[in-house]
């Protein structure tokens, strides 16, 4: 069955540190890839997405992600985190082909940024 793995359950960083959150998926076909973020007390919102083209995609708030097809990975990065980045981050995929695009999510990574 298709699955999404996020390697880190909880990451704690100090402000200005660099961030990389891992995401791997187990599906050999063509996929659309997403990172969603959930700030405390808020609902899931899209951070960035990859459908095709340049494998390095830029999202909101200075986040970027790189799609590496050979590694089935879509890691999220930010050069310098801020306290306001404290949130839970979810990687998700949907596969092309078939009639619809339900998202398959990883378990999420909680990011805590110390001021």
Partner 1 sequence: GAGVSQSPRYKVAKRGQDVALRCDPISGHVSLFWYQQALGQGPEFLTYFQNEAQLDKSGLPSDRFFAERPEGSVSTLKIQRTQQEDSAVYLCASSSSPTGRDTQYFGPGTRLTVL
Mode of pairing for the β-strands spanning 109-114 and 10-14: parallel
**What's the closest the beta carbon of residue 87 comes to partner 1, in angstroms?**
14
Instruction: State how far the alpha carbon of 85 is from the alpha carbons of 8, 15, 39, 96, in Å.
Output: 16, 9, 8, 31
**What's the closest the beta carbon of residue 82 comes to partner 1, in angstroms?**
23
**What's the closest the beta carbon of residue 18 comes to partner 1, in angstroms?**
24
Site for partner 1 in 76-95 (CB under 8 A): 90, 92, 94
Q: Which is nearer to partner 1, 12 or 96 (CB)?
A: 96
């Amino acid at each position: 069955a298709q699955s999404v793995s996020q390697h880190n359950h909880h990451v704690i960083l100090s402000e200005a540190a660099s961030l990389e959150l891992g995401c791997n998926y187990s599906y050999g076909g063509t996929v659309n890839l997403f990172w969603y973020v959930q700030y405390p007390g808020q609902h899931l919102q899209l951070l960035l997405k990859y459908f095709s083209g340049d494998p390095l995609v830029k999202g909101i708030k200075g986040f970027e992600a790189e799609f590496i097809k050979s590694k089935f990975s879509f890691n999220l990065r930010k050069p310098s985190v801020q306290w306001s980045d404290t949130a839970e981050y979810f990687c998700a995929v949907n596969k092309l082909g078939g009639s619809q695009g339900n998202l398959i999510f990883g378990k999420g990574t909680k990011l805590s940024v110390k001021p």
